[in-house]
Structure 1
Amino acid sequence: MVFRILRSLPFYPRAVHKSMTLKWSQSEKMMFAALMSALAAVLQSAGGFLPGVGFFISPFATAPIFMATLISFRWGSVSYLLTIFLLVLIQPSELMIFPFTTGVLGIAVGWAIRTQVNRLNAIFIGEIVLFIGICIPLFVLGFPVFGPGVSSLNLITVLMILGFSLFYSWVWIEFGLFLIRRLRRFLS
């Protein structure tokens, strides 16, 4: 399991990116980004619409942003911003979570998988982005991302967030590679 982290990333994320970039028209890219935005907004708002079980569904809002970023960083950013606008209309209570954590992690993981060769580099990029994304609402804005129990700035809290960010980023890198394998079969 540990040795899997040290392996390089497979070739197919770049191949899928190249296929989407060269074969899809601007209209198809725009429609895909819009569809991913709508899906991300629905998944993110599940926590508010389905209390309890929805909180297990809402982390999957990272996947559509990740898939849009697979086309390009630009389309991932457009999808990210469109999802934020949709959340303003659908579920404004999720506006402190999605922009700082779920959405920005999707962009970071999508970009890292597409551009990095080393899996460990991709994991660290996602970790750093998620760590900063958690710390801004938690310590700067005072929003309890993990609930009221984690709100003070101390070394143990920072190390716990750093460890969580590392693990969560690794999970999303692996899940993202799984999604790309499925998408590759669909595209070919």
Structure 2
Amino acid sequence: MNWFSILSPESYRLHYYFKTFSYSKKLVLAALFSALAAILQSTGNFLPGIGYLISPFATLPILICTIISIPFGLQSYILTFLLLILIQPGESFVFPFTTGIVGLGIGIALLTLKRRIGIIVFTSILLTGGICFLLYFFHFPVLGPIASTSPSLKVIGFIYIFSFIYSWIWGELSRLIFKKWYKLMGDR
């Protein structure tokens, strides 16, 4: 794997394909993906156990909306947050700083930074900031009993390592998803 290669040329092709869509079609897609993200994010509370394995996939609809266009990605991010306030208020507190920020970060980085290492570092910094914000500013135990809510450089270092690996997994997963999606679309 080359860390300095372009992560997913298919994501740019899909971005340009989505540019041909009308504004109303993009708006409907953003609304549908926001509803899907809200449902996926809230599965942790609706289906204890397996739901916690499903809820990280709330990143994908936000990522797809951001590939459609960055403004629609932001709209989807905010709409998902507002839907979660109605569906699962507890998840609305976690989503903007963890799952949602990863989808938004990877989508923005795919369209602007393009290189694998830049995408992963940018997204991991966003995720580390989000987790640390919840943990140290709000004293919300987002990591459970693993980390205390008092600041520690050691804990922040481990959070960054986790964020880097998590962002790397999502970057590679998005590359595979966009490659398959583009192949299914054919030569458009």
Q: Indicate if the aligned counterparts of 2:81 and 2:92 stay in contact, CA closer than 8 A.
A: yes
C-alpha distance in 2 between matches for 1:75 and 1:186: 23
Partner of residue 143, structure 1: 140
SS at match of 1:28: helix
By how many angstroms is 1:10 displaced?
Answer: 3.5
Q: Indicate if the aligned counterparts of 2:8 and 2:179 stay in contact, CA closer than 8 A.
A: no
Partner of residue 36, structure 2: 39
C-alpha distance in 2 between matches for 1:140 and 1:104: 17
Partner of residue 163, structure 1: 161
Partner of residue 50, structure 2: 53
Residue 113, structure 1, aligned to residue 114, structure 2 = no
Partner of residue 75, structure 1: 72
How is 1:4-15 mapped onto 2 (pairs within 5 angstroms)?
A: 4-15=2-13
By how many angstroms is 1:156 displaced?
Answer: 1.4
By how many angstroms is 1:182 displaced?
Answer: 2.4
- Sequence identity (%): 43
Partner of residue 17, structure 2: 19
Task: Give the TM-score, by structure 2 length.
Answer: 0.94
By how many angstroms is 1:105 displaced?
Answer: 1.0
Unpaired stretches in structure 2, ≥5 consecutive residues? none
C-alpha distance in 1 between matches for 2:17 and 2:96: 29
| Cα root mean square deviation, aligned | 1.2
Task: Give the TM-score, by structure 1 length.
Answer: 0.94
C-alpha distance in 2 between matches for 1:6 and 1:62: 24
Unpaired stretches in structure 1, ≥5 consecutive residues? none
**Alignment coverage as a number of residue pairs:** 185
C-alpha distance in 2 between matches for 1:9 and 1:54: 29
Partner of residue 85, structure 1: 82
By how many angstroms is 1:186 displaced?
Answer: 3.7
